[in-house]
Structure 1
Amino acid sequence: MQQNQLSLSDEAQIRWMLERYYFAIDAKDEAIMCSCFAKDALIVYHTGEKHEVRLNGHAELMKYLHSGIAWNGPSIHALSNSVVKVTGANTAKASAYAIAHLVVEGKVLVRGLRYDDSIVRQGESWVIKHRDHRSVWQYEAQNLPSHLPGR
């Protein structure tokens, strides 16, 4: 295998880590969430046209998530597509698009999201060292009762 090529196992582990992130945010699972990030990770949430929130490490990330809409109500994040590229022996970059459905004040906020990550190998695991999180588009929809009509 060439030096600048991920093994299928490495790529699968990185994609699995990205999927665990989505599960962690929807399940509100701090342990899984933190396992996706390096302890000293830098996470940048672009929260508006010219606004951003910069978080350093697990403690700041969890404090921010606990104060936000995704952690304080029902949500579903679904990976749409992603690409993973090797950048060194123990480093990679990933870009992913996802769709998030968040229940906020009785409405469903539907958001198209983009994640750009710098990823490092720590021991046997791959973790996010730097993340840029951006909203690409969003809209609101009516929240209906969660039962099958006529049943």
Structure 2
Amino acid sequence: MQYRESPAPPASDPEGTLRWLRDRELIKNLYRRYAFGVDSIDFEIVRSVFHPDCRVIGTAEEGDLNGYLTGIEEALHQWDATMHFVGNQYIEIDGDRGHVESWVVGYHMEAEDSPLEHLVLGLRYQDDLVRDGEDWKIIRRETAKQWHTGTFPRPFVGPPQYPRRGRESHS
């Protein structure tokens, strides 16, 4: 673990400062979209934050993007609800490439009739990004579990007996 973050341009460079602020906001928005997409099980949104050639390291779904997303989507149907919170982020930008370290807490709620405890995960995402037109995309993700409470890994006991909350239309 190493602290990496790009300093702001000098105040005497308003164009550079505006570009720096815009890039940081676009990058932070990737993580808001990711959390929203995961928690609403909208994998069109989730896929939109990743470059098609993305590689994933440190998860059960390690490998290419399709395997990673398929594994996450299958797992999400086991819980009654989830909520992913993106906390501290350290953003380093170098031209059209970037690196982001994000600290995330994922809440995974079991159905009331489940024999399992709720699962709360503390994760650290270390992502390499590339500029993609006017946006940014994650091209490499390394995930590290920092801690957890509850049953992990979750044994399969089946999905909740009723439709999962959060699947309502958000359009």
Specify if TM > 0.5: yes
**Matches for 1:44-123 after TM superposition, within 5 Å:** 44-46=57-59, 53-57=61-65, 59-68=66-75, 70-73=76-79, 74-86=81-93, 88-104=94-110, 105=114, 106-123=116-133
Residue 17 of structure 1 pairs with residue 23 of structure 2: no
Distance 1:24 1:55 in 2: 20
Q: CA shift at 1:71, angstroms?
A: 4.6
Q: CA shift at 1:35, angstroms?
A: 0.4
RMSD: 2.2
Larger Rg, first or second structure (1 or 2): 2
TM-score after normalising by structure 1: 0.78
Candidates 10, 21, 32, aligned match of 2:45: 32
List alignment gaps of at least 5 residues for structure 1: 48-52, 142-151
Q: CA shift at 1:17, angstroms?
A: 0.6
Give the 3 Å change call, closer, same or farther, for CA 46–66 of structure 1 in structure 2.
closer
TM-score after normalising by structure 2: 0.69
Distance 1:100 1:85 in 2: 24
Q: Which amino acid is 1:19 matched to?
A: R
The percentage of aligned residue pairs carrying the same residue is 22
> Which residue of structure 2 lines up, in the alignment, with residue 41 of structure 1?
54
> Which residue of structure 2 lines up, in the alignment, with residue 139 of structure 1?
149
Distance 2:48 2:125 in 1: 17
> Which residue of structure 2 lines up, in the alignment, with residue 144 of structure 1?
none
Distance 1:32 1:61 in 2: 14
Distance 1:41 1:71 in 2: 24
